[in-house]
Structure 1
Amino acid sequence: MTSCLMTRCPCGSDAMYETCCGVYHQGVAAPTPEALMRSRYSAFALDLVDYLNATWHSSTRPQTLAPDPATQWKRLSIERASAPVGEQGTVHFKAFFWEGGWHVLEEVSRFVFEAGRWYYVDGDPRLDKLKLGRNERCPCGSGRKLKACCGG
């Protein structure tokens, strides 16, 4: 994990990893559903399977979860994070990734607060393959044209 220190956090917050999602990956409880969503996205990007399992509610956690080196997570966009209502919260996000082509995973995720921690329960996902021209903006969020960025 030391290779991640002093780099920008994958969650897109513009903070340094060690003071952003790295804190949660080291055991501090995420204070909100949005913070947990961001830290889980970063865990997917960094292949931190143990963290993903630990923050997945036991009622919906898969039996196994393996790293997926074929997927390159590029950008997280939080579309809406609802204020928690009691012990439940939701986060609507889009996650852009490369896996033999550009894709976007859009989901409204549900979270529950138990024993002093937020847990991911489940979501309503939609997966789309993006059809991009070389002169379109790169989905990674750089603001550059695809041909001069990740598609170059």
Structure 2
Amino acid sequence: MTRLRRVADDVSIARCLANPAGVARRDVLRILPATVFAGCAAPTRSEPFAGRYSWGFEESVFAPCDGDERWWVVDDAELVRRYRAVAADYEQVFARLRGELSEPGRYGQGGQYPRQFRVTAVLTVRPIEDGDCRPTAFASRGRDRRPQADQ
């Protein structure tokens, strides 16, 4: 359903609520289901993700192990609480999170992230260990607790 249609349905519902006596019951029953389901578009993925997370002033970023993108993270109060228990601001940690990944767009500070990740469950937050995913998307961002091998 298009955004314009959702707005029109929302306006119709608002009119019904503002003047219920002037609206027939059949009209309310016809409009209500369309409005309820209009905002129910499924996210692109909703499953556990493993990757590196970094948090600080104007930064809440997750880089999944299986990709080269960095995602802006929202609804992250529990994640931040657990992050701060094991790391300093801007330090990378390993995290396993469950959540909803947005459609491609521009998100976060300055619109610099291609997707937004809405956290629904925090499964693991811990310092980075050997064998954790490579920091490909964090190449120039954040600090890594592990010593880097000489090149």
Q: What band does the TM-score fall into relative to the shorter chain? A: under 0.3
Structure scoring higher RCO (CA < 8 A, sep ≥ 6) equals 2
TM-score of the superposed pair, with normalisation by structure 2: 0.25
